[in-house]
Amino acid sequence: MANAPPSARSEISQALRRCAGSLLGIGLFSAAVNLLMLTGSIFMLQVYDRVIPSRSIPTLVGLAILVAGLFAIQGGLDLIRTRMLARVGASLHERVAGRVFDTTLRLPLLRGDVDAGQPLRDLDQVRSFFGTGGPLAFFDLPWLPLYLTLCFLFHPLIGWTALGGAGILVMLTLLTEILSRRGAAQSVALASQRQAVADAARRNAEAVTAMGMGPAVAARWREADRGYVAGQSGLSDVTGGLGAISKMLRMALQSAVLGVGAYLVIQGEASGGIIIASSILSARALAPVELAIANWRGFLATRGAWRRLDALLGSLPAAAERQTLRPPGSTLTVQGVAVAPAGNPRLVVRDISFQLQGGAGLGIIGPSGSGKSCLVRALVGVWQPARGRVRLDGAALDQWSPETLGRHVGYLPQDVELFAGTIAQNIARFREGDDPDLVIQAAMLAGVHELILSLDQGYDTAIGDRGGALSAGQRQRVGLARALYGDPFLVVLDEPNSNLDNEGEAALTRALMNVRERGGIAVVVAHRPSALAALDHVLVIAGGEQKAFGPKDQVLGATVRTLQPVPNPAVEVERGQRAIAGGAS
């Protein structure tokens, strides 16, 4: 945060500055509210010094009516400024929510194992704080000198008594800041750790249950939870304890002012009304300080969230507008590409170079852990190469906006992730306004059309979070249809047949042939050689390095036997070729 350039630091501040008009209005309403806060003191002063000595009922009634009206106005203005603050928080949220959500998508790709949900929680913290009484304390604090000045006007001794109490409460506020600063930072870290354990357990619930890992995982969560609860308890002890002390001191100060006022009345230096009026004024003067201490925990959480958002938005600036390029349709060029996993400087893929023309199909093979999946992530723009370039028709991938590039790329990751929604929505990539026939066309290319129709709701079947309503093989075939949606030029599939039966493999082979026949480029990471049947080129990777690249017939026979423990890869390829012939017939 401290090292971020001013322009980077100011992005979220600029969003708040756009609400300057509303904040100015809140300040004006606060001025009116604080002036109206004098109503009670003046009323008591008039009652004791004018109404009681004169025994005038009409005067009392008139004052009561006037005071009731002023209190009603004060309450209305207080309600308005509270609602305006909540609207400011909502407006700030609306202005930066898109950017913050964008960072939650980019963070895992750039920094690896991070809590990508923390920015959204930070934004919620900032927004919700504007809806509490905490910010009002900061609008009321500047009026503290006015109340102290009035106390001095009543009598210097009353003023010094109130000023001494205010000084003690300000020192308590500073002490609260010092003692709770570290606890607030630790609380955020412990909350992220606890959330990470819970999320991991939820994602792997089936494995945890099947292998009896529940108690062990629960023990890890309880350990993280105990640390979080202990940190929260310590923070509550500090803020709650000092808050209780401040409340006690304010009440004691109010009594002290009453005592001082009584002494002055006995000495003949003040009237009876001043006793009550000065007591009310001193209590009102110290109320914002007490309110600030009571809300200090929320203030610390909001300040930490604000700083993290500021630093994050500064380190991940918004993508600049890019020139719209023509749809690719000619070549895929990989120039000396080296890839490192997100958040890890170690290169797992080094110096990969090749070129494919439209209509080509490439199979990437190699031992497990050789970097195949890392390479294809770079091919589709998910990971940025540490060095080198991936180009479509001569244009590097970073010259395309992600939205535009995504229309020309189909990608099936090794771990297929579907979203809560219908099958049609998932295949259509949740795009609105596209031709519905494109969904059916993609499903037919992936050989999953008949399977979808066999479901109760067909394409409108809701599949639940992560596609839990479908089997692994069904999810993979729906994911394949999503990759083929819209006839993208580059189709990259990472082990697309890992969960497929013979029918699914035949459909996969036909889909790859279709991509090539329409002039697209198909890239497939394969452990089972049958997936290579529809391809004409092979890239061999071992130890993160390119060992061979060229026509399949030249490379496969010489290399596959040493990299894959399959009995007879030629038989597997022949099986895939028979699937193609069977589909054609």
One domain for residues 350 and 380: yes
Q: Average pLDDT of 419-430?
A: 87
555: domain CATH number is 3.40.50.300
One domain for residues 283 and 395: no
One domain for residues 379 and 474: yes
In 204-295, alpha helices (H): 205-210, 214-266, 272-294
One domain for residues 392 and 284: no
Q: For residue range 214-257, what is the model confidence (pLDDT) as tens digits?
A: 778 778 778 877 877 777 777 777 777 777 777 787 778 878 88
> Is residue 9 pLDDT above 50, yes or no?
no
> Is residue 6 pLDDT above 50, yes or no?
no
Total domains, the chain = 2
Q: For residue range 64-102, what is the model confidence (pLDDT) as tens digits?
A: 999 899 999 989 999 999 899 988 988 888 888 888 888
Q: Average pLDDT of 494-503?
A: 80
Is residue 4 in a domain?
no
CA–CA dist 190, 89 (Å, integer): 26
Position 48, amino acid: Y
- What pLDDT is attached to residue 51? 84
Do the beta carbons of residue 356 and residue 537 sit within 8 Å? Answer: yes
Question: 94: exposed, middle or buried (C-beta count within 10 Å: 0-12, 13-18, 19+)?
Answer: exposed
255 CB-near residues (< 8 Å, 6+ apart): none
Which helix or strand (DSSP H or E) is residue 35 part of? helix 20-36
DSSP 460-477: G-B--GGGTTS-HHHHHH
Is the entire prediction scored with pTM above 0.85? no
If you average pLDDT over every residue of the chain, what do you get?
81
Measured CA to CA in angstroms, residue 349 lies from 88, 522, 539 at distances of 48, 20, 13
Angle value at C-alpha 116, between 113 and 122, nearest 5 degrees: 140
What residues are paired with 545 via a beta bridge? Answer: 350, 542
- What pLDDT is attached to residue 585? 40
Say which range, 123-132, 218-227, 456-465, has the weakest mean pLDDT: 218-227
Q: In terms of residue numbers, what domain contains 172?
A: 11-315
One domain for residues 226 and 357: no
Rg (CA), the chain: 35
Measured CA to CA in angstroms, residue 251 lies from 137, 169, 255 at distances of 18, 12, 6
Which helix or strand (DSSP H or E) is residue 574 part of? helix 569-584
Do the beta carbons of residue 126 and residue 304 sit within 8 Å? Answer: no
Is residue 1 in a domain?
no
174 CB-near residues (< 8 Å, 6+ apart): none
User: Given 315, 348, 369, which residue is the final one in a domain?
Assistant: 315
One domain for residues 210 and 262: yes
One domain for residues 557 and 426: yes
One domain for residues 272 and 358: no
One domain for residues 257 and 307: yes
Q: Average pLDDT of 552-560?
A: 72
One domain for residues 355 and 305: no
Angle value at C-alpha 255, between 250 and 261, nearest 5 degrees: 125
138: domain CATH number is 1.20.1560.10
Q: For residue range 284-332, what is the model confidence (pLDDT) as tens digits?
A: 887 887 787 777 778 888 888 888 888 888 877 777 777 778 888 899 9
Is residue 119 in a domain?
yes
At 417 the three-state DSSP class reads coil
- Higher pLDDT among residues 344 and 453, named by residue: 453
- Higher pLDDT among residues 566 and 131, named by residue: 131
- What pLDDT is attached to residue 513? 92
CA–CA dist 442, 448 (Å, integer): 9
Position 473, amino acid: G
Is residue 571 in a domain?
no
One domain for residues 523 and 395: yes
7 CB-near residues (< 8 Å, 6+ apart): 314
In the chain, % of residues over pLDDT 90: 14
Q: Which two tokens stand for residue 546?
A: 């390119």
> Is residue 117 pLDDT above 90, yes or no?
no
User: Given 315, 339, 374, which residue is the final one in a domain?
Assistant: 315
Do the beta carbons of residue 394 and residue 467 sit within 8 Å? Answer: no
Which helix or strand (DSSP H or E) is residue 456 part of? none
Residue 1: pLDDT band with limits 50, 70, 90: very low
One domain for residues 375 and 505: yes
User: Given 315, 347, 366, which residue is the final one in a domain?
Assistant: 315
> Is residue 563 pLDDT above 50, yes or no?
no
313: number of CA atoms within 13 Å, CB side? 27
